[in-house]
Structure formats: C-alpha cells, structure tokens
A and B are shown apart, each in its own frame.
Chain A
Amino acid sequence: MDKLGAIFTQLLNGFGFTLGIFFFTIIFSIPLGLLIAKGRMAKNKIVSAIFRVYISIMRGTPLMLQLLLVYFGPYYVFKVSTGSIQVGPFNYRFIATVIGFSLNYAAYFAEIFRGGIQSMPKGQYEAAQVLGFTPLQTYFKIILPQVVKRVLPSVTNEVITLVKDTSLAQVLAVTEMFTAASKLASAQVSVVPFVVAGVFYYVFNGIIEIIMHSIEKKMSYYQ
C-alpha cells in the first residue's frame, strides 16, 4: 500500500508539470493559431505562402524533433547558452517545451480556424457591411462567435491529443507525469506506475470532455 502511495505522490508531482505544459500551450497556441490562420488566408500571395510552408513543416515533422530543435537550437546554431535562463519557477527545459508545443499546436489550430472562417456564408459579411459595421466589429461580433461554435468539436479533438502529447516532454528531461512514471516503473520493476499514470491521463481527458460538451451545449441555442 505504501508503494501505491509513493507512486501517487510522485506522479502527482509530475502531473503539475503536465498541467503546466497543457495550460501554457493552450493559452499561447490558440491566439497564435488565429493569427496564423489570418496569415494563411492573406490576399498577398507571398504572405499566404509563408504561412502555408510554416503549417506544412509543423505538421509534417515530428513534434519530438521540434522540441529538441527549440531546446538545442539556440546553443548549437547561435552559441547562445540557455542553461541560465529562468523565468519565475520555470527553467529553459520547461520554456522550450512550451514554445515547441505552442508553435506546433498553433499550426493545427490555424487550419481548424481557417476551415471555420471559410465556412462562414458570404451573406453574413455582406449584411454586416451594409449595416455599417467596421471590419473589426464584423469579425469580433458576427464572425468569430459563429466560428467558435463551428470549430469546437475539432478543437476538443486537438485539446485531448495535447493532454497525451505532453508525455513527449520527457525528451527534454522535463519531469512531467510520464517521465515520473517511467522512472518509478524501472525502480520498482512494476507496470503499476504506468497504469496509474494512464488513469490520470484518462480522468483529465474525461474532465475536458465534460467541460467541452457543456460549452457545446451552451452554444446550441442557435443553428
């Protein structure tokens, strides 16, 4: 029983990092995704092409590789030492993880948002224009609220994937929950830590599903 208690406390420690990676990635990647979607839809062909290439690379290469590049890149390419970087309680390992995840997830979110924005009927823009709304008012009052409703199911998908992807942070030796579980498993020669970690991930995603479902329900007052 003691063993299980130890597993629990150590995994809970790691879970703090998992949560940290998760929330920071959501906070940064969603606005960034909106901007990238805007860039991808830019009328200027060069601007649009740049964002297309960005999305293509981010989606076309492993996230693990991107994490390693963000972590080691500054030193190997620019000879900038990152060892002493510290923002509040976060060292560069953690910061690099969040940057890598945000850049990667922003690309996926951008494509989801683009799909949502482009699915909006032209008539909504025209009605807003004729009524005298400025482009900014049109975007934030008329278009975006409807796009949010349209993209919510796809966003939920990405968010759930992100919870599981946080385990990739172990390549940068961030002691998030999966790293902790691996260490415990080899120390105790047992699969129990993995099972407990699995339960953690599952419960966390269960909560996310419930929250997203209630948001979807709240927005179902119109079609």
Chain B
Amino acid sequence: MSVLEMKNIKKSFGDLEVLKGIDLTVEKGEVVAIIGPSGGGKSTLLRCATTLETVDSGDITIAGDVLCASPSEGAKSVYCDKKMMQEVRSRFGLVFQNFNLFPHFSVRRNITEALIHVHKKSKEEADKICDNLLKKMDMSSKADAYPCQLSGGQQQRVSIARALATSPDIIFFDEPTSALDPELTAGVLKVIRELAEEKMTMVIVTHEMSFARDVADKIIFMAGGVIVEQGPAEELINNPKEERTKAFLAGY
C-alpha cells in the first residue's frame, strides 16, 4: 500500500510556476530522498504534502485519506473539510530545517503537548512515549531542559522525537541538517538512519548526497519544478542518465 500519493501536482506563486505537474508515490517502509538545486521546488513539494501550502491542482492522498483532489485533470484542486484535515495531519510528521521547537516549553512538553491536547492521551501515557523516544534519541538527560540550552543537533533530535511521538505513518524531513555544522549533522543523520532500519516511511529533502545514497531506497532529482530523474538511490547517484542530473551531481 502506498502511504503517500501525489498526482500531477501544480503550484504557482503569482506568475512563478514552482511545481509543474509532479507525481510522487511512496510505499510503506520506503525511504525517498529528494535532491536538487535550490529553487527547484523540493521544499514547496514537501510543504504541499504537509498542508503548509495548498496546491493549485492535483491529488494528494496520505495513508488512504484524501487531502485534496482535482475533480478533473488539471482542474482546481478541492480540499477535504477541517475534520478530515486534522485526521490527515495526525498521519504524518514534519521535521523542519530550523527545528521550530516551542522555546517556552521544556523538551518534555515539546514532545507531549500534542499527544495530550490533540491526541487526548493521558499525561502518564504521553510521558512514557516521551521517555522512550528521548532514550532512542540519546537525549534522556535533557527531558527538563529548554531548547535554548541545547545544541542545534540536540534540538533537531528533539524535533524528530516530537514528529515521531504521535506514531505517524510517514515522516517528512525538510533539509534536516542544513542549519547544522558537520559534527552535529552526524548525530542527526545517525538517528534518521536508525529510523530507516526500522522501516519508517520517510521523505527526506537533503543536500547530503552520500547520506541520500546510503539511506534512501529511491532518489528523486528535482529541478525547475519538474522531476528530472528518479531511480534506485545508488544508481541515480553513481550513474545519472540526464545531463541536468550529471551537472548537479558534479558539484558534489
């Protein structure tokens, strides 16, 4: 079963067409990395999938729930109602480039707040989930710390824990290591790698080519609002077919 299905997604900001008809399917347990030059539409695609932007036309289905659909080919996409939207949002997690932790909440509250107040779990249940996740992130000692007391790498691991807390069907990463120095990057990549080994379904926008090749099942190369090339990770990185892909990868 596919966890994410995006069909013929089009999106413009004013006169600028950012997505020119993107098709993307992610199967359960699959790790998909999206690479490509800045301004190529990677982040916009992710923001459309996570309800932060609305598409102009196209269909998006997450874990079987229809987020939006075009009534006919190329027609303006119609979104689901508010209730369904909340349902869809509980199906995925999103990890931001600059973490976006809530600075006035402790690490624990950052992770448990949505569990308690959106998913109506008891405080005890939420704490248990939080403790398990922090252990996994190697952050158990920081449960009562505030985000400003943590390094960037630690903050990003907390935000991954926050995204995992509601046991989503799929997690999106928007350049999770772009705000980190190489040393801190390693810790975050290690965590994502472990998630991949556990067969967590993930879509990762990244500029870390070797990481994408090692961890992803499939790599998608996006430029100019279209998918230029896609294929098995190793093959796309080592033997790109399109000239545009070759030119991009030559820079790494």
Q: B96: which of A123, A137, A221, A222 is its contact (CB, 8 Å)?
A: A123
Q: B104: which of A121, A123, A131, A149 is its contact (CB, 8 Å)?
A: A149
| Bound-state Cα–Cα, A126 to B51, Å | 9
- Would you call A87 an interface residue if the criterion is a C-beta within 8 Å of the partner chain's C-beta atoms? no
Contact B51 A129 (CB under 8 A): yes
Q: B100: which of A127, A146, A221, A223 is its contact (CB, 8 Å)?
A: A127
Q: How many residues of B contact A (CB 8 A)?
A: 26
Q: A132-B86, A132-B89 are in contact. Are A127 and B117 (CB under 8 A)?
A: no
The number of A-B residue pairs with CB atoms under 8 Å apart is 58
Contact B114 A133 (CB under 8 A): yes
Contact A141 B117 (CB under 8 A): yes
A128 / chain B contacts, CB cutoff of 8 Å: 102
Contact B146 A221 (CB under 8 A): yes
Chain A CB count within 10 A is highest, among B51, B52, B101, B103, for B103
- Would you call A32 an interface residue if the criterion is a C-beta within 8 Å of the partner chain's C-beta atoms? no
Interface of B is mostly: loop
| Bound-state Cα–Cα, A129 to B119, Å | 14
- Would you call A187 an interface residue if the criterion is a C-beta within 8 Å of the partner chain's C-beta atoms? no
- Would you call A124 an interface residue if the criterion is a C-beta within 8 Å of the partner chain's C-beta atoms? yes
Contact residues of B between 101 and 157, Cβ < 8 Å to A:
101-104, 113-114, 117-119, 146-148
Q: A132-B118, A133-B117, A133-B118 are in contact. Are A124 and B52 (CB under 8 A)?
A: no
| Bound-state Cα–Cα, A149 to B98, Å | 21
| Bound-state Cα–Cα, A133 to B51, Å | 13
Closest Cβ–Cβ distance, residue B119 to chain A (whole Å): 8
Contact A223 B52 (CB under 8 A): no
| Bound-state Cα–Cα, A141 to B114, Å | 11
- Would you call B50 an interface residue if the criterion is a C-beta within 8 Å of the partner chain's C-beta atoms? yes
Closest Cβ–Cβ distance, residue A51 to chain B (whole Å): 27
Q: A126: which of B52, B86, B117, B147 is its contact (CB, 8 Å)?
A: B52
Contact B94 A130 (CB under 8 A): yes
Q: How many residues of A contact B (CB 8 A)?
A: 20
- Would you call A142 an interface residue if the criterion is a C-beta within 8 Å of the partner chain's C-beta atoms? yes
| Bound-state Cα–Cα, A141 to B103, Å | 12
- Would you call B90 an interface residue if the criterion is a C-beta within 8 Å of the partner chain's C-beta atoms? yes
Closest Cβ–Cβ distance, residue B103 to chain A (whole Å): 5
Closest Cβ–Cβ distance, residue B111 to chain A (whole Å): 10
- Would you call A145 an interface residue if the criterion is a C-beta within 8 Å of the partner chain's C-beta atoms? yes
Contact residues of A between 102 and 116, Cβ < 8 Å to B:
none
Q: A126-B100, A132-B86 are in contact. Are A137 and B147 (CB under 8 A)?
A: no
Mark each residue of chain B from 173 to 216: 1 if its CB lies under 8 Å from any CB of chain A, else 0: 00000000000000000000000000000000000000000000
| Residues of chain A having any CB pair with chain B under 8 Å | 121, 123-124, 126-133, 137, 141-142, 145-146, 149, 221-223
A-B pairs, 4 with minimum CB distance = A123-B100, A127-B100, A132-B118, A131-B114
| Residues of chain B having any CB pair with chain A under 8 Å | 50-52, 86, 89-90, 92-94, 96, 98, 100-104, 113-114, 117-119, 146-148, 162, 166
